[in-house]
Amino acid sequence: MNQANTLDTKSADVRLRLEPELKAVANKVLNDAGLSLSDAIRIFLRQVVATRGMPFEIRQPNKASLRAMEEARATPRARFSSAKELFDELEKPQRKKRKTSAKK
């Protein structure tokens, strides 16, 4: 089927009411990925059909997961001004191990 015929078959409209901020942020994210909101909804619906249900699991986290998420949010995070600084920090334990094993 050529592109002209494909475009002719897309004649069903879907109307959706949602918060303006949600739409704006979603549009920004999708545009950065090279997709329109219509493209994303079309992909989602194709996945619903392909999986014969929601294409992802919808669930509430249990108490242990909620505690872990709260703990993770409360944990201070290291900040790095460059990728080199990050990799230097990641390699520190390895450097100490190398020096210790070299002395033995």
* pTM: predicted TM-score of the whole model, two decimal places: 0.50
Residue 83 maps to a domain: no
What's residue 82's pLDDT?
Answer: 92
Residue 49 maps to a domain: yes
pLDDT over 50 at 1, yes or no = no
What's residue 40's pLDDT?
Answer: 95
Residue 37 maps to a domain: yes
Q: Which phi and psi angles does 69 have, rounded to 5°? A: -65, -40
Angle between helices 20-32 and 37-51 (to 10 degrees): 90
Residue 52 maps to a domain: yes
Residue 35 maps to a domain: yes
CA 25 – CA 29 distance, rounded (Å): 6
Residue 75 maps to a domain: no
Angle at 14 between CA 8 and CA 19, to 5 degrees: 140
Q: Which tokens belong to 83?
A: 């990728």
Per-residue pLDDT of 17-48, as tens digits, reads 999 999 999 999 999 999 999 999 999 999 99
Structural domain total, the chain: 1
The boundaries of the domain holding residue 31 are 18-57
Instruction: State the pLDDT confidence band at 2, using cuts at 50, 70 and 90.
Output: low
Q: Summarize the confidence of residues 46-65 as an average pLDDT.
A: 92
Residue 66 maps to a domain: no
Q: What mean pLDDT, rounded, does the chain reach?
A: 85
Residue 87 maps to a domain: no
